[in-house]
Chains A and B, each alone.
Chain A
Amino acid sequence: MKAHTIETKKGARCRVLEAGSGMPLVFFHGAGGLLADNPFLDQLAARYHVFAPELPGYGESTGEELLEDMLDFTLHGWDVVSALGLTKPHLVGHSMGGMIAAEMAAIAPGDLGKLVLVAAAGLWIEEHPIPDIFALLPGQLIELLFQDPVKGQALLTGGADFSDMEVFKEFYLGQQRRLAMAGKILFPIPNRRVSKRLYRLTAKTLVLWGGADKLIVPAYAERWGRLIPGATVETIADAGHMLPYELPAAFVGAVSRFLG
């Protein structure tokens, strides 16, 4: 994929990965950001014109001070779509990105093609409290994110050697910066009341989940399905929270079947 930088009307500078042609599809990453290895984006690009913007505070994107609350994040999403010059793109959001995409769809229901929410954050079910991702040791986080923690570790770190203090320091600073940003909409409870607004959705919606998601358990898929008018819920067994990275082929298959 090729990378370039856009500037939103508000002044945030965001790095965007882009590839493919056809219907525009914007992918919104989760709280950890885009991992180094993301084959699912290339596979989606075989059928769609894929854009994967990085939020301010992630990678080379800057302007985190411009975004403070959920409305800021939501409008930023649409500002990115505008800066890219897209009309009615499909929105695909993973985890925190799903939360943002759902808010975008609620605030401007006529401005998107279809909506795909993958292991989306944004709801809270008292019987299924989501683990506090801001209070985890690195090993605990990997356990929660991936069905297979060994593979997960390699995916998350991009194969970096953490015994090298400088490498670790760089990763650590990046992670602090990313999660500081994510905390603005996920801390202390990842619920900014999108549930009150979901009645507004008109786009066809797919709720896609890993059957073995330990972070946001599949009960949440069912809840999203209930709250969004006419939504389809699909579960892929043997995938954890990081479904797009863990099972890219299955993920892309499900998304493509739905988007057409």
Chain B
Amino acid sequence: MKKSTKKHIKIILIILIIFGIPSTISFNLEKKVQIFINPNLDRYLSPNNSFNATLEFQQRQQVYLDTSNNSNGLYAQSTRVYLGLAVYEPVIQEALDKVNSREDTSDFTMNALLRIIYFNNITGVLSVSLESEIKDAILNFKYWFTEPNEDDMIMWTENHMILFHTAELLAGQFYPNDIFLNSGMNGTEHVDHALPLVNRWISWRARFGFSEWHSNIYFSHDLMALLNLVEFAQDNDTATKAAMIIDLIGFDFANNYYKGRYATTHGRTEDNRQFGTSIYNLPSRESPSEAAWLMLGIGYHEPSDTSNGAAVFLATSEKYAPPPILEDIGVHAILYNEHKERSSINIKDGPTYGIGYTSEDDLMFWWPMSAPAAAPIIDSSLDLAEEYDIDLGLIFNDELLVDLLKFGATLYGTSLSGLCEKVKGVTQGVCLETVNTYTYRTPYYQLSGAQDHQKGLAGLQEHIWQASIDDYAVVYTNSPGGIGVQEFSGGWKPRATLYKNVGVIQYDRLSQPLLLEVVFVYLGLKPYTHAYFPRWAFDIVIKQGKWTFGARGDGYVALYSYEPITWKSKYEMRAFGNKNAYIVELGSIEDYGSFQNFTSSILSSKIKIVPKSVGFSVQYNSPLRGKIEVAWDGPMKVNDQEVDLGDYPRFDNNYCYQEFNTMKTIIRFENQTLELHFDNATRLYYGT
């Protein structure tokens, strides 16, 4: 065969690969993508300080109710009772068994049962025997760890906490004069106990946001509790404040949802939500997605998601409706958005905010942040556990951890607290401390992440950054290991620094005491960093040297790895070693004209990365942004100007500016204003 013939064959093959495969993929993808329902902006508004649900919200509620009422799922039974339909009893029996045996997550179930029993009070569809069984379960339940008797329930993560408090409040309200067998208190006493706890939780969220920031799992559970409060809490202030927290969640959705995904950093997530291996095995639908669609019309409705707790509670909500301004922002922000947000506080800053480290009240602030083993808190945590005979495994994930810490303290000749300080790479790393999240969105892509968050510390469920072109064409990196068991979330946290469409993500960590290093090895040595880059989700993927490029539609992404990186599978690339620097840059047809121009511009850009004792010194000349400089410590600079990496205000974007640790949120868009005054429980909406 002649040389020129060979050359021609090569060219044809390349063309086939470039155009053939992506077309096949996109064809298949099109088949999978759901119908997007764009909200119609016409709506009926009531004057001045109140508003009715928009027609679109009501329509979405109806759409959801129409599919949910056929479901045999537990949450969907609230729909059925709400609509006056007979329930599917086996699933309720199953729920009762769970609640009666006080299994973990019984609080989720209890909130569903309470919603059912409240609705049944109006529709009366439950049989007398079933109603009686539910009543018995409610009266027998353990609503807080201060009550006696054993259980297997984690009560103190952020979402569990509000679910338990809400359950106690609503149960107490419903049966005010009945004696609750586990506690020996009557319903009214339970209300008195739960109400301040509910308000404490709401107040913390108002001041500091969610420590389980942007969680694509637990926001759904938070919404369930909050919607139950809005619907059924007899204390108007509490119901109003709960509605205001839901508004803030809605505002979060509007700012961070991109297409159908909660395409941002998450404080707590799970691998199955974060990666898909092929078009036949897509990432799971995120729990709040149905709620985001219901509330604001963003994303899409998935007809098979019929028993989603948050969605069911929203669809059956008569008292909560999203303020129209949030729906409008949801639509407006689709095209462009630059959003900064700060959530949670650092452990060391507790006293600044009036939160100590010793009292039960203090611990109930720290435990939801996964901080029971943090140096200033560990001793009080163990005291409280002893006082109420709480299973240490429920507080620390594994009782063995406490034994190990005690052994370590002896080995190092220090106190337990001293040891926790020594191993803060883990004990502090797992705490969901202050996070400054940044989201930059154009019509073609979104880059979002946690700026410079706990670099080099070991996490559990965090997802630090991601670049998204559509629902599935998503790129992010991770360094698994430490005490995390997941591959694509948790692990060693990088120093992620983002500026508009460019990000520099450095992975490294300080050495830990050898005892801890041995534990890491025991838990599974993972000497690599890796990138999720699903080839199946892009029209085209090109790897050239240390750069990997992807295009989907008119959006482009480029990922650079300092260490040599190779394909491990059709969705994962791996680089050896726990130290690595990645650069990500996003682009679009609008910026570059074509994918080819994008790749050639990026390839010709100058990069200088120098490894340092810890981390790197990175210099990158972005084709769009110019000279970008950042190291492991110090600022990120773009054309010699410092980039704001935090601390951010509570919210900072085109719609809202709110200082951190304040109790008033004012959101403005065009001629609409939403004022949320948590101090006096006032929710004001002005619009025309």
Partners in one complex: no
